[in-house]
Chains A and B, each alone.
Chain A
Amino acid sequence: MELKIKTFGAARDMMGGKEVVIKINGTNVCDLRKTLVATYPALADLRSLLIAVNQQYAEDSQQLKETDEIALIPPVSGG
């Protein structure tokens, strides 16, 4: 499955792009996380890395579709 991923903040710097396309083996958020960390090892250094699917924070067990809007959410620091 090929997914388009929006990236922000520290994660964007580590991945070198605002939006990246990544091919994953598997179908859920956990599978995506594994592929991301294998492809971009620097992501493992983040204090946390949440994944949002269709603009909502997602659990690791959530199933993904190629049409989903997926975003990586490194530790937030608004305010």
Chain B
Amino acid sequence: MIEITSNKIDREKVLGAVAHLEGGAICTFIGTVRSKTADKKVLRLEYECYEPMAIQEIQKIIDFAKVKWPVLAVAVSHRVGTLQLGDEAVVLAVSTPHRKESFEACQFMIDTLKQTVPIWKKEIFEGGEEWVSAHP
């Protein structure tokens, strides 16, 4: 399951999508909006996405993980639009037969998502705003 949504992420749906009878481990990653970046106080985040390409790039990451680990199922939901402090921006779940590969595949997928998937966030903080990572 891959989903880009402007609504609150349904965690139970993401977890339910990776339920698998051969699975002995489900590892999840939840990315949330934190209140500070460096010394700045964050007020909210605005996410945008090039959706058709983002879905394809997420699928590539899943396909790669399936080659590298015995992955049974993966589900990813990424939120777009305006997010408030504490909101969940991404929920990723993976099921595998054992926990070690579950942790490894989960970390690989979220790390790669942050590097390759065309999704952008702008931090709105007190006294300004900035697209994250845009400038050197």
Spell out A's residues near B (CB within 8 Å).
6, 8-10, 13, 45-47, 52, 55-56, 71, 73-79
Contact = CB atoms under 8 A, between A and B. Distances in A.
B134 A47 contact: yes
A75 to B, nearest CB: 4
A71 to B, nearest CB: 6
Chain B binding surface, main DSSP class: mixed
Contact of A74 (B52, B117, B131): B131
Given A8-B118, A9-B122, A75 B133 contact: yes
A77 B50 contact: no
B121 to A, nearest CB: 5
A78 B90 contact: yes
B113 A8 contact: no
B115 A76 contact: yes
A9 B135 contact: no
Of B56, B115, B131, B135, which is in contact with the most chain A CB atoms at under 10 Å from its CB? B131
24 contacts: A8-B48, A9-B48, A9-B120, A10-B120, A10-B131, A13-B131, A45-B136, A46-B134, A47-B134, A55-B50, A56-B53, A56-B56, A74-B134, A77-B120, A77-B121, A77-B131, A77-B132, A77-B133, A78-B54, A78-B113, A78-B114, A78-B117, A78-B120, A78-B121
Contacts of B113: 78-79
B131 A9 contact: yes
B93 interface: no
B119 A77 contact: yes
Nearest to A78: B119
Contact of B136 (A10, A47, A73, A78): A47
